[in-house]
Structure formats: C-alpha cells, structure tokens
Amino acid sequence: MGVTSFDGLRIGMAGRGAGRGVVGWMLASSLSLVGATGCGVQDLPAEEQDAALSTQEQALHEDNGLSLNGLSLNGLSLNGLSLNGLSLNGLSTTDFSTWFNGNPASNDQLMRYMVRCAVPATETRSFTNPLTGALYTWQGGLGLAPSWSGGAPATLAEQQIISACLGAHANNYGLHISISVLGRDSNGVNIPYTSDELASFPKKESCFFGNVFTNEGLFAGNDRNALAADESTSRPCGLKGFGALANAECTQVKRIGQCENYCTLDANGTSYTQCTFNGVQYKPLTTRLRAEDVHHCGDGVCQTGEKCGWGVTADSCLLDCGTCLL
C-alpha cells in the first residue's frame, strides 16, 4: 500500500486510526504476493505475523495528504542526501541542512513522506537542525528504496519509485484520504496485497510515475474512465475530473490520459509494472479508492472537490453545495 503522511502519511502511521482488529484484516490483504490469495495470517509463524502486522500498520491503506504546493527538489539530487543516501552521513551534510532550512516546515513534511516511502517500517531517520537545535525523526514505512535507505546514492529505479510514491500521496487540499497503493519496489518486489484489500478499495484510480530528482516531473493517468459529470474526489492529483474540474488543483502533476495507453499491466491486472512517456521508461505505482471517496452530486454532502452552482454536476452542484450567492 502506499505511503502517505506526516501526520497522515501512513495507515497505521498517521491518519488511519485503525485499531488492532482492523489492522488484523488488513494484514491478510498485505500478505498475498502477485495476486495469490491463499496465503493468510494462519500460514505464518507468530513472530512473522507480528512483523508483517507492523509493516501492514504502516504501509497498507495509506492516507494521502502531501501538499505539492511550491514543491521544489532543485538541488536535492545534488546534495548530500542523494550522494550519501538516507543515512546519518547524508542527513548531516551542509548541503542537506541548507536545503532543509530553505523551508523547514514544508521540507519536514516532504521528508516524512520520503522516509515513509523509502525506508523499512522498522527503521527511522533523524536530523538535528544545526541552526535551531531542533530534532526531527521520520518513521520508515514501505521500504521501496533499500539501497538509498542504506546510505548509497539513489539508483535510477529508486528515484523513479520514490517520485511515484510522492505523486500517489499528494493532495493539495491538505486532506488525508485512505488509498490503496499497488506496484513494485525499486528491486521489482511486489508490494503485498490481498483480495480483502482490493474489495475494501474497489474503485480504480490512477497510475503515478516520473522523476522529481532529475526535474523530469510527475505524471498521472486514469486507471478508469474519466469522472462522470456528477462525480468528484477529494484527491486533486488523482482522477481527472469533468468540465471545470478537468484541470484539478494539482498543477505539479501532468495528466497523460489513460494509463493503459502508456503503461504495461501486470499478469493479475491489479497494477502497472512500467510506463513509458516521452521515450523514457518509468517504474509506476497504482492507486485505488474506497467507494465512499468517489463523490456524487446529489448525495446531500458538499465535499471538497465539488462546487456551488445551479446545476447537477460536480462543478455546479446545487443539491449539495447550494448556490454561489452570498
């Protein structure tokens, strides 16, 4: 599952708020690799169940909430972070400190997501700001970039998968929406999932890919038809909307149309294994939504993503949001 948070970055990490019992059923959904559903908690020794549960709590159903407003990684790929990886050496360099202090609040949030995406759930990464003495500690989650996490320079595959992870968890509305993130890590190992997870997140959403380390950008495609006229979501970087909502408030992500036109679906039909755009091949991540997170004009609630007006479409929804008159 994807990574999401700061405060909302992880399923068990931030906004999930799921109890141990809920995480238990989540665990079953994270143990099945490559679509196999026969492997469940009962097949594992107790200690392995606990380890898997810990991973599941931090990586299963993630809450997106990363704001890409003003996101700039310029220089990040040139400083100690990429040269020395997500290690003490990498985070203690002058270059990293200079970059971080350019906007401590925003970069603290960004680092939370990057560490959750890249580093295993059993590990943390810390940074003491030499200017303020403040200690920042970021919890690992998905472990998508093992080499970079271990202190080596980020490989191209790691740059791409971390970029995809950031894109998948972006939400410029600042909301934390539970999502399912599917795909493979930088070494081609499947992110665990099960049929329970797919059933809990039945709505296909998007594919995300790109490379923010090299300033190639972030890209997203629809893993389903575009939203209908009366539909909307609170994830402006996810599905492409209708009408006035067609250009959602997520300008940092370039829309590419349908994922199937650029990406290769895995044998199980659950996620994309690679996407090619502008002649470059990328490692993507694929997202899914809960049914309740695809909103409909007329359901009686004015959700983020809908607008007031006189019509019955998401961008002019009288029934839910009223008129635009003061």
Contacts of 225 (CB under 8 A, 6+ apart): none
Bridge-based pairing of strands 203-211 and 285-289 is: antiparallel
Alpha helices (H) along the chain: 20-30, 46-59, 80-84, 88-91, 94-100, 104-118, 146-149, 156-168, 195-200, 318-321
**Alpha carbon of residue 235 to chain centroid:** 11
How is residue 177 written in tokens?
Answer: 């929406």
**What's residue 241's pLDDT?**
62
Judge contact between 86 and 143, C-beta under 8 A: no
In the sheet that holds 263-265, the strands lie side by side as: 263-265, 272-277, 280-282
Output phi, psi for 260, to 5 deg: -60, -20
**What's residue 252's pLDDT?**
79
**What's residue 7's pLDDT?**
25
| Nearest partner of 76 among 154, 128, 185, 133, judged by Cα | 154
| Nearest partner of 236 among 251, 223, 215, judged by Cα | 251
Judge contact between 124 and 136, C-beta under 8 A: no
| Nearest partner of 115 among 126, 130, 104, 105, judged by Cα | 126
**What's residue 175's pLDDT?**
79
Q: Which long-range contacts (CB under 8 A, 24 or more apart) does 223-231 make?
A: 223/259, 223/272, 223/286, 223/287, 227/294, 227/314, 229/313, 229/314, 230/296, 230/297, 230/298, 230/312, 230/313, 230/314, 230/317, 231/294, 231/295, 231/296, 231/297, 231/314
Give the C-alpha separation, 28 to 324, whole Å. 46
CB-count exposure of residue 225 (10 Å: 0-12, 13-18, 19+): exposed
Tens-binned pLDDT, residue by residue, of the chain (326 aa) = 433 322 222 222 322 222 222 222 222 222 222 222 222 222 333 343 333 333 333 334 455 656 554 454 544 555 556 777 888 888 888 888 888 898 898 889 889 889 989 999 899 999 999 999 999 999 998 899 999 999 888 999 999 999 999 999 888 777 788 889 899 999 999 998 888 989 999 999 999 999 988 888 899 999 988 888 888 888 888 887 655 455 556 777 888 889 999 999 999 899 999 999 999 999 999 999 999 999 888 999 998 888 898 999 888 898 989 998 76
Give the C-alpha separation, 82 to 94, whole Å. 13
Question: How much is the pTM?
Answer: 0.76
Handedness of CA 219, 223, 224, 228 (dihedral sign): negative
